[in-house]
A = this chain, B = another copy of it.
Amino acid sequence: MHTVPDLRAHGGADAFLRNCASRAVLDLLTNKWVCLVVGALRPGTMRFGELRRRLDGVTQKMLTQTLRDLERAGLVHRAVYPSVPPRVEYSLTPLGQNVAGLMDAIRVWSEEHIDDIRTAQEAYDTKAGEELQPV
């Protein structure tokens, strides 16, 4: 009763705390494939095969798993049309659209700052090697 654990602006949620539910949400969002799937769906509905081709390097398993996680979290809607061959379309829910701006921003930031990062990494690696042989 003596230590109310640091209530915040929103209902007491704090992702810095290990057992706070928001930590799990953060864990869901901070994922490469989640970011790319949401980014890909932002312009509109896509089929499974379209997504697989768009997300270069994704395996069927990872794409399925990512889409299930997002569907379960209510960020993505899955529509099945029982035609032959089967047709499955994925789209963002309102909640998914709500976070899509953020996901897109991260991807765009990554694309825009490649050179900054690479330059810094090369400098770091060079310096690490040099201080072993000062002369």
Which A residues fall within an 8 A CB radius of B?
Answer: 8, 10, 13-18, 20-23, 25-32, 34-36, 39-40, 54-57, 71-74, 95, 98-99, 102, 105-114, 116-121, 123-125
CB-based contact A117/B36 at 8 Å:
no
With a cutoff of 8 Å between Cβ atoms, the chain B residues found around residue A98 in the complex are: 113
CB-based contact A109/B102 at 8 Å:
yes
CB-based contact A29/B110 at 8 Å:
yes
How far does the Cβ of A105 sit from chain B's closest Cβ, in whole Å? Answer: 6
| Copies of this chain assembled into the complex | 2
Closest 7 CB pairs of A and B: A74-B120, A18-B57, A13-B111, A25-B110, A18-B56, A26-B110, A22-B111
CB-based contact A124/B8 at 8 Å:
no
CB-based contact B32/A30 at 8 Å:
yes
CB-based contact B112/A13 at 8 Å:
yes
